Amino acid sequence: MRAVVAAELAKIRTVRSTLATLAPALFVAIGLAWLLGFAWRPAKLPGDMREHFDPLFPAFYGLTLAQLPMVVFGVLAVGSEYGSGMIRASLLAVPRRGRFYAAKVLATAVPLAVVAVVCALGDLLASQAALGDAGVTLASPGAAGAVAGATLHLLLIGLFAVGIATMLRGSVRTLAVLLPLFFLGSQGLGNVPGIRVVTQYLPDQVGWVVMHLTQPGSADFGRDYGPWTGIGILAGWAAAAVLGGYLVLRRRDA
């Protein structure tokens, strides 16, 4: 198993175009965190917004966009082998498909986890530095939990994409499904009160509470669940996608 994981890591490391898709996640996440932190200084906010000011909101709002490169990476880590036909050579080298798939999921999770940790911590540091005296630290109440939740959100979103790409057996068709869904979910349909009762359970929506982008029962983009319940829902989405990918890989020819 160790050799198979090492081989999958070598694939990711040597195909630079795949690994490079993670760079925009860092730039978008940390850059937006700093800009929003500077713009959300309490002195610049209207009176009603100042009363409900949450210093963690500008820290993680940029992740609604930064999660998209994580999705693209997860898709390309799997789908590129189908597009090039290298999946046949991979399965010839590792005929036990369960072992092959587990190694691919683990290998993809490693860079996803590293970037997720850097994004979450970088977001907090950049945004709070931009907030100045209104900023908080990692030791402040709720900050460490928000960072942990943001890290899990990005990692699970990437693994969800891995499972969907394996089920759809390609990069183009998977991105054609996921990117519009996530764009419409975070920036469009998720903000429509009439259908929010359903869209609040989509994978890109359930991490909002733990990242302090909304609150349970809030009139503005509120959710019907708490922060860690949301992360649990996302874990369920990711597990279902990964399991579905395994079932497709096991039952279909390369």
- How confident is the model over 245-250, as a mean pLDDT? 93
- Kindly report, residue by residue over 119-171, the tens digit of the pLDDT: 999 999 999 999 988 888 999 989 999 999 999 999 999 999 999 999 999 88
CB–CB of 242/162 below 8 Å? yes
Placement of tokens 């991490």 in the chain = 207
CA gap 9, 120 in Å, rounded: 23
Residue 68 has pLDDT above 70, yes or no: yes
pTM of the model: 0.92
DSSP 74-127: HHHHHHHHHHHTHHHHHHHH---HHHHHHHHHHHHHHHHHHHHHHHHHHHHHHH
How far, CA to CA in Å, does 95 sit from each of 15, 102, 234, 238? 23, 13, 31, 25
Question: How confident is the model over 92-110, as pLDDT tens digits?
Answer: 888 899 999 999 999 999 9
* Burial class of residue 19, CB neighbours in 10 A (0-12, 13-18, 19+): middle
Smallest Cα–Cα separation from 68: which of 168, 148, 161?
161
- Asked if 2 contacts 101 with a C-beta cutoff of 8 angstroms, the reply is no
Q: Binning pLDDT at 50, 70 and 90, where does residue 47 land?
A: low
Which residues does 61 contact at the CB level (< 8 Å), separation at least 6? 32, 33, 36, 213
